[in-house]
Every structure is written in C-alpha cells, then in structure tokens.
Amino acid sequence: MPSGNTRKSIVGQGKQLFSMNKLIKQVEQWHRDRNLIEGSDDKAQVLKLIQELGELSDSVCKGKPIDDDIGDLLVVMINICVRNKITLESCLSHSWDEIKHRKGVMRDGIFIKEEDL
C-alpha cells in the first residue's frame, strides 16, 4: 500500500488529483480563516456533525449521491480533530486496531460484535 504522502483521492470527475494530506491542510486553514477553531467548541461542532449526518441519511434514503455528504462530515471531523490535537489518520488507525480481529454476525444488514450477542 502506498505511504500516506503518495495516496491520491479524486476530487470530482476530470478535476485535479489532490493528496488527502493537502486537502486536510486546506480544510484546517479554511476553519482557521473563519474562526471555527478558536471561535467554536466541540459541542457546537458535534451538533454540526449530527446535522450533516442527517443530510447523509436523507440522501441515502432518497437514493441521491452521497459524496458531498460524506465530505461535509469529514470537514466537521477535521475541525474536531484540530481542536483536540489529533488526526483523522490516528483516529482511523486506533479504530482499525480495535476492529481488525473482531468477530460477529450479520443481522438485518447490521454487524453485531460477538461480545454483544
């Protein structure tokens, strides 16, 4: 697998490729330029995250494209990460370490952990 600096993500069809790290830095600066780091707090940003999650749910239920909704969730999560001096990568790595050997079963399209059965 390529290193974090060489992974690429396509931003819109036919548009320039941007590295994930570059996009995250741009989003961080966007938050700072609008005083959303110092001028906001985690509670407000979690409420915004829930609002964006509702928009994703609406799009899924209506069969609409979801890429913008997922992007909006990431934008808010980046804000929360910056405020708490953590990275998306460290959060994902932590979660991966917790789930990589997890066992369970599928019920009605939902994965249920073995220990919750």
Taking the whole predicted model, whether its pTM rises above 0.75 is answered as yes
Rounded to whole angstroms, the Cα distance separating 65 from 60 reads 8
The answer on pLDDT for 48 being more than 50 is: yes
Domains in the chain and their CATH numbers? 8-93 (1.10.287)
Distant-in-sequence, close-in-space partners of 111: CB < 8 Å, separation ≥ 6: 104, 105
| Predicted local distance difference test score (pLDDT) of residue 18 | 73
- Beta strands 8-10 and 110-113 are unpaired
pLDDT band at 16 (very low <50, low <70, confident <90, very high): low
